Amino acid sequence: MATPSGDVFFSTISELSRRLRAREFSAVELTKAFCDRLERIGAAHHALAHSLRDTAIKKAKDVDAEIKRGRLRGLLQGIPYGAKDLYAVKGQPTEWGSRAFAGQVFKEDARVIEKLNSAGAILIGKLAMVELAGGVGYRTAGASSTGAAQNPWDRTRWAGGSSSGSGVAVAAGLTTFALGSETSGSILTPSAFCGVTGLRPTYGLVSRRGAMSLAWSLDKAGPMCRSVEDCAIVLHEIAGADADDPGSARKSFNYAPQFDRPLSEITIGYAPIDFERVAADARSAMTGALEAVKALGLKLKEVEIPDFPYGTLVTTVIGAEAASIFEDLIGSGKIDLLADSAQAASLKAAIDIPAIDYLKAQRVRSQIQQAFREMFTKVDLLLTPARMAPAPRIADGLAGGGGVSVPGGRGLGGIIPACNLAGLPALSLPCGFANGLPMAISLVARPFYENQMIAVGRAFQSKTDWHRRRPPLLEPA
């Protein structure tokens, strides 16, 4: 058997699965090679929270025995992956990116970890995250017990939050895929900054049992991968009803590309002004991406986001729910162990959010959901820049979105908080570069229309190769 190297680390799930079944290399050899890479490069980029080498190799031996006996489970069998340190792994540290929870261990796996284990996937590491998944607001890239996650395209740049380690791990070929989570942007942002494909599922489609909760009415678990198809393969395994998650939608997801609608029948809503508002050095990439989407033969329709104060609403909801969840942390004084003092102060202040403000925000939220239901009677999907500028410098802090001010309508600005409030699924798709840093576009769909969204994303990636580009900075200095 060959020693896994080179292209292996940037292979898709299907490619690796085929080679494992052809016995070009064993699951143990593959796992060891990925563990070496994750421990070396991942640690140097502040992307690794905890290596799980020993349990991973044990699992890989079981997979090799299964493959030898002809017991084939599916495409994820033997595939090395990583999970954001927000997900519980039985008997292993799960510290939520914070010194305040150092040494925390759970007795059961999170539901998504259980499902991936049953599918034969091999968990090789817990990945770094912004502490407490961002809490109520952090101001520095270093708001984590592991330090500021360094973007593999340029180590002076941030990898994005709060699923920062997941973005680095996939982009740098440290894991084949990774689990992230999103409350308001935490899958889409690191996916865009690191040049990987990220999928935020419909709220409730994937169980959050065993995952740290930041805001129970907003939290979502999802995959970050090399391609749209990889995201679909992982989502197929982790989605489904869970009676132990009160937010479960009690629905499953079956990846069924054979039933995709013709692209000519799909209408995409977009706002031209959005593509003018991106940072000047990113405009060429965004213009090219928009032209590539148009070339797919879709119908495009100009739309504008419903007019609501999305930022204020999502801040109120997250603040009130996070203060309730972390009440003991705040009351004990251990909140002061957070790396970002601004985040600690915001969580303390959130305790005083009046119940009337929270309830008002939830009432307006129902109006937002209705407004998007009406919008999706006119279009099938929405298209926007995933971020308005490439990854910021770590030393510069995180203030501002990086876009430019252009006179005109509101377009689809504010779509990340808006669509998280509405519980809508989204994809982040690499679409080019700005001064050597990845840029991405985003597709948004109505609830539970992941297959339709995936079909368009897959068509885009069949005509472009941005998702196959590799960062040049892979080795530690």
Q: Which two tokens stand for residue 200?
A: 């935020």
| Active-site option among 32, 59, 84, 115 | 84
Q: What is the pLDDT of residue 439?
A: 98
Judged by phi (left if over 0) then psi (alpha if -120 to 50, else beta), residue 37 lies in alpha
| Active-site option among 26, 181, 186, 217 | 186
Judged by phi (left if over 0) then psi (alpha if -120 to 50, else beta), residue 206 lies in beta
Which residue ranges make up each domain of the chain?
Answer: 6-257
Cβ atoms within 10 Å, residue 374? 10
Q: Which two tokens stand for residue 361?
A: 């925000």
Q: What is the pLDDT of residue 397?
A: 83
Helix axes 450-463, 228-238, angle to 10 degrees: 150
Superfamily of domain 6-257: Amidase signature (AS) domain (3.90.1300.10)
The per-residue pLDDT string of the chain (477 residues; one tens digit each, 9 = 90 and over) reads 667 878 999 999 999 999 999 999 999 999 999 999 999 999 999 999 999 999 999 999 999 999 999 999 999 999 999 999 999 999 999 999 999 999 999 999 999 999 999 999 999 999 999 999 998 889 999 999 999 999 999 999 999 999 999 999 999 999 999 999 999 999 999 999 999 999 999 999 999 999 999 999 999 999 999 999 999 999 999 999 999 999 999 999 999 998 899 999 999 999 999 999 999 999 999 999 999 999 999 999 999 999 999 999 999 999 999 999 999 999 999 999 999 999 999 999 999 999 999 999 999 999 999 999 999 999 999 999 999 999 999 999 886 566 666 666 778 889 999 999 999 999 999 999 999 999 999 999 999 999 999 999 999 999 999 999 999 856 544
| Omega within 30 of 0 (cis) for the link into 341 | no
Q: Is 417 exposed, middle or buried (0-12, 13-18, 19+ CB in 10 A)?
A: buried
Q: Which two tokens stand for residue 83?
A: 């999970």
CA 399 – CA 382 distance, rounded (Å):
26
DSSP 450: H
Q: Which two tokens stand for residue 269?
A: 């809503």
CA 200 – CA 236 distance, rounded (Å):
13
Q: What is the pLDDT of residue 4?
A: 80
CA 329 – CA 307 distance, rounded (Å):
36
User: What residues does 206 pair with on adjacent strands?
Assistant: 239
Instruction: Please give the C-alpha separations between residue 59 and each of 28, 170, 366, 407, 427, in angstroms, as whole numbers.
Output: 8, 21, 45, 57, 31
CA 366 – CA 191 distance, rounded (Å):
28
Q: Is 71 exposed, middle or buried (0-12, 13-18, 19+ CB in 10 A)?
A: exposed
**From the DSSP assignment, how many helices (H) and strands (E) are in the chain?**
16, 13
| Active-site option among 144, 145, 162, 428 | 162
Q: What is the pLDDT of residue 477?
A: 43
Q: Which two tokens stand for residue 403?
A: 């876009």
How many residues appear in the chain? 477
Among residues 97, 182, 82, 187, the alpha carbon closest in space to that of 148 is found at: 97
Q: What is the pLDDT of residue 152?
A: 97
Sequence-separated (6 or more) residues with CB below 8 Å from residue 21: 67, 72
26 is catalytic: no
**Is residue 291 a contact partner of residue 463, using CB atoms and an 8 Å limit?**
no
CA 268 – CA 153 distance, rounded (Å):
31
162 is catalytic: yes
Cβ atoms within 10 Å, residue 152? 28
**Is residue 100 a contact partner of residue 57, using CB atoms and an 8 Å limit?**
no
Q: What is the pLDDT of residue 407?
A: 60
Judged by phi (left if over 0) then psi (alpha if -120 to 50, else beta), residue 443 lies in beta
CA 451 – CA 12 distance, rounded (Å):
19
Three-point CA angle 375, 443, 408, nearest 5°: 65
51 is catalytic: no
